[in-house]
Structure 1
């Protein structure tokens, strides 16, 4: 374990040195005091720009095992003008975790991703962002879970809809509480990346106003990631539909999650879905 930690700290030190070497004083907004023995910024200049002591920053580049905060890492990332991939790499090396996104990523759905959803046929499939908003879907999902195209942005938030929609309660029937608690735990886990963000605070406040269950469960701080497993939906016209759920991140847009509900091998769900799709 100690050897692994030392290797990580060495990687961090080397990474910082290489990033520092590529930034000139002019690029950093500092006066150029003539030729330098080595290219790039001096350690003291990075420390100045990051708001830390020269000794502390030097220890970081010497691979010493010192305490590092996320805020200081953000300052160093700005001082070294790191791009988004380099910033993530810095956090993984220093804190062994990814940083919170500074701004919500764009929910641009590529034609390839939409085609993938559409090709799922009888498997309802949709894409959610980090706020658990539905941002893309296929026909099967639209027919089973509701007309997403006709919903407002707030209604397409899966947490809001879970706790406020009578249709969702009827669709899930006796499984609603299990689903709602799981959805809320997903939401709480994502909220950890954006604690204090106005969008999240507004939604949490509104849910506290409209849902007694949300008011009771939110203070419990349950966190969870991952799919729900088997799902049972009671569709108003198709009847009982049973699915196995799988979720995964989109490689080139890791803030997006694809969820596919695959019809269970019960010799009943797929014919019902084929009939539902053919009639609509």
Structure 2
């Protein structure tokens, strides 16, 4: 770390420390300055008070990711502040923290709904679909009719004959999904969280077991970015798809499918009312 970066880290730590209310953490006594004392932050972070003092003074060197995590917790940092702390301390953002998600904010749902005739979904790193718009329910799957635990793309693809039959090239689609799923698991550090799902799919689907053990890793941009379906109502359809990150939630991804045919757009508009 450069001396300027070390000093910037110290300034940030001090600013976050002085905004905290000592009484809310059970610390008492008269104080000449606002916020927690340095030794109190060190106590909460389980690090040496001397070293924490050096960090604020720009003399502590580069802390480890483990220490930065403890300081983030001790100082009650927001996700944005935690990311900033890691960039100051290590020159990179922290690893993604996976969170189980039940749904999305009303604001994000309004974004999905605003796509109109373009099916759009939000998925987790475990490929659970947690939000969708009306066009997605009509063209892809009516997720609202399913229990939350069954709204998983991998379970659909490898365990649902109707979903399999709708794929123009099931083998290619399945191989792409498994490769990108493996990459998402590694990127978000959730191998333990998905081990049960992987074991279940390997037991129930020889195809999944075969593809999973091939160890292919793919990015979302590695495919042709066109989804082809043999839809039971609309017939053969082609849609371009794009993946977008969700602000502040690196464990979520929004996929938007854009119909390539004006007649299909009209029919989706009629079906969605």
Shorter chain as normaliser: what TM range? 0.7 to 0.9
CA displacement 1:194-252 (0-9 Å, x = unmatched)? 53554x33222212221223333435262535585122222234222111112223447
SS in 2 for 1:246: strand
TM-score using structure 2 length: 0.79
Q: CA RMSD in A?
A: 3.2
Judging changes above 3 Å, is the alpha-carbon distance between structure 1 residues 181 and 64 closer, same or farther for their aligned structure 2 residues?
Answer: farther
Cα separation, 2, equivalents of 1:43 and 1:165: 58
Quote the residue 1:214 is aligned against: 208
**Match 2:158 to one of 148, 160, 163:** 163
Note if 1:274 corresponds to 2:269.
no
TM-score using structure 1 length: 0.77
Cα separation, 1, equivalents of 2:252 and 2:258: 19
SS in 1 for 2:25: coil
Quote the residue 1:238 is aligned against: 234
Cα separation, 2, equivalents of 1:123 and 1:181: 24
Judging changes above 3 Å, is the alpha-carbon distance between structure 1 residues 58 and 216 closer, same or farther for their aligned structure 2 residues?
Answer: farther
The structure, 1 or 2, with the larger RCO (C-alpha pairs under 8 Å, 6+ apart) is 2
**Match 1:77 to one of 67, 72, 75:** 72
CA displacement 1:123-170 (0-9 Å, x = unmatched)? 222222343222232333223222222223233111222222222322
SS in 1 for 2:236: strand
Map 1:182-193 to 2 at 5 A: 182-192=176-186, 193=188
Equivalent residues, number? 267
Judging changes above 3 Å, is the alpha-carbon distance between structure 1 residues 60 and 197 closer, same or farther for their aligned structure 2 residues?
Answer: farther
**Match 2:47 to one of 44, 49, 52:** 52
Quote the residue 2:219 is aligned against: 224
Q: Runs of 5+ in structure 2 lacking a partner?
A: none
Cα separation, 1, equivalents of 2:114 and 2:23: 52
Quote the residue 1:201 is aligned against: 195
